[in-house]
Structure formats: structure tokens, C-alpha cells
Amino acid sequence: MRFNVLTIFPKIFKIFDHGVISKAIDKNFIIECYDIRKNAINKHGQIDAKPFGGGEGMVMMPEPLKKTLIDIPKNERGHIVYLSPQGKQLNQDKVIELSLMKNITLVCGRYEGVDQRFIDKYVDEEISIGDFVMSGGEYPAVCLIDAVVRNLPGTIGNSDSIENDSFYKGLLKGPVYTRPKIFDDINVPETLLSGNHAEIKEWKESKSFIQTYLRRPDLINNVKLTKKQKKLLEELASKDIL
């Protein structure tokens, strides 16, 4: 898989020299950064200008972006994504969809955004990582790349780790525990120490559902519930925990 990144701060993506993503890069996964400033319109490195019609800040001009996009071989551009507050919010379903693509190009905006004409002509999809504003598209791009690449075969050593993550099955992951067995007079739940795999599995599934009900009840509406989950939902609702 290949990610092309259009950015004015390529050094930000050096973060992928560390952690599990660096292991994926060693297995021929590619992140290639293309510096937009190399295609500036003048010797001063200008890539932005004041918006027509007035308004605050500066807007990234379409010419440097187009020239930078053209620097990428056409057969390697793939799906072109602009990281934008106006985009559809990234979720696990979208992450999995993107993980099945061979080539993805990410456009990282700055300032007050990107000239709409570039978006209309060259961008396939706009994606947001949440309802908040950041100083540029680089950090959202980092989040997207990390989320996508960890779903690629071989990135995570144990595939069960991915399948039991929060959101993978539509619910949050429940609480987890490790050594010591007693910490500040608080014991690890006995079920987890029992060695009974069926009971442990049932405990984890139950806690996952309860955690989701308490913290993100909106997620439950998008999940096809099992009979056990329906019964648990009725019990939780009757207790009026929320």
C-alpha cells in the first residue's frame, strides 16, 4: 500500500519512523511526502493568497497544489482525500474501506483552507477526524494513516488485537487489567483469574456492552444486537443507569 502526502511540513511524518507503523514500512508499505512549497509561484515560496471577497486569513492557491499532485505518477495517485472540517467524519468502517485500497493521496491544507476549484476538480473525498479545528491537515493525516495501516496484514502481530479493538465491532472495548493482582487495595475481577475461557469471554463481551451503554450509547443504535445484548440492554435501561 502507498500513501502520498501533499504537505508544507513533510518532517511531521517522520513520526512514522517509530512504533508499529515503522514495521509496516519495513514490509514495503510506503509513505511518500511531496512538499507543496517546491511548487510555489515565486522565489519567496508563496503558496497562499488573500481570499476573494474579503475575509480573515489566507487561502492555499490551486496552482501549487495541482503541480504537486502532478509530481505523483498518475497510476500511483489512487484515491485523493482532502483532510477537512467539512468532510465526512472518519470512523472504523471508513478506515477498513481505505485499508483495502492500493494507493491513497492525502492533501493537507493550511491557513483558512484550499481553493475550492482544486477540491472540485481533483479531490475524490473530504474526510474529517472530528468536530474540532486544528492548525492544518498534517495531524489528521497522521491519525488517518495510523488507523488504516494498523489494519493491514502483518502490521499488528496478533490479528485478534485488531478485531477486539474499540469500534471494530461497533462497540467500545471494556476495561483491561494486568499485574499486580491487587493495586491500592483494588482486586482484579475474579472472573479474569479463573482460567475459564468461556466465562472470561462472556465477561468481556458484557463489560464491552456496558461500557458502550454508559459512555457512547449512540453507538448501540448502529449494532445488530444478539439476544444476550438485548436482554442486557433491557436490564440496564430498567436500572436507569444513565
What are the DSSP calls for 110-147, one per residue? Answer: BTT-B-HHHHHHH-SEEEESSSS--SBSHHHHHHHHHH
**pLDDT mean over 83-101:** 96
| Catalytic-residue membership of 37 | no
C-alpha to C-alpha distance for 169 and 186, rounded to whole angstroms? 30
pLDDT band at 167 (very low <50, low <70, confident <90, very high): low
> What does the alpha-carbon distance between residue 97 and residue 101 come to, in Å, rounded to a whole number?
7
- Would the pLDDT of 164 be above 60? no
> What's phi and psi for 91, nearest 5 deg?
-140, 180
- Mean pLDDT within 34-59: 95
Residues 92 and 190 in one domain: no
Q: Which of residues 122, 149, 176 is at a domain's end? A: 149
Same domain, 62 and 85: yes
Phi-psi region of 130 (alpha: psi -120 to 50; beta: other; left: phi over 0): left
Q: What is the pLDDT of residues 147-159, one digit of tens each?
A: 999 988 867 655 5
One of 63, 126, 165, 205 is an active-site residue; which one? Answer: 165
pLDDT for the residue numbered 25: 80
- The answer to whether 180 is a known catalytic residue is no
Residue 156 lies in a domain: no
**131: annotated active-site residue:** no
State whether 180 and 217 are in the same domain: yes
Task: Please give the pLDDT value at position 145.
Answer: 97
The CATH number assigned to the domain holding 221 equals 1.10.1270.20
Residues 109 and 187 in one domain: no
Q: In the listed set 119, 149, 179, which residue is the last one of a domain according to the structure?
A: 149
Domain with 57 in it:
2-149
- Grid cell, residue 107, equals 492533501
Residues 16 and 126 in one domain: yes
Query: In this predicted model, what pLDDT tens digit does every residue of 176-207 receive, in sequence order?
Result: 999 999 999 999 999 999 999 999 999 999 99
**Contact (Cβ atoms closer than 8 angstroms) between residue 137 and residue 84:** yes
Per this entry, what is the length of the chain? 242
112 carries an active-site annotation: yes
49-53, 109-113, 162-166: the lowest-pLDDT one: 162-166
Considering the candidates 63, 71, 112, 125, report the single residue annotated as catalytic.
112
Are residue 216 and residue 116 in the same domain, yes or no? no
- Radius of gyration (C-alpha) of the chain in whole angstroms: 23
DSSP 36: G
C-alpha angle 37-98-124 in degrees, rounded to nearest 5: 55
Active-site residue identified among 32, 85, 126, 146: 85
CB 133 within 8 Å of CB 32: no
pLDDT in tens, 122-149: 999 999 999 998 999 999 999 999 999 9
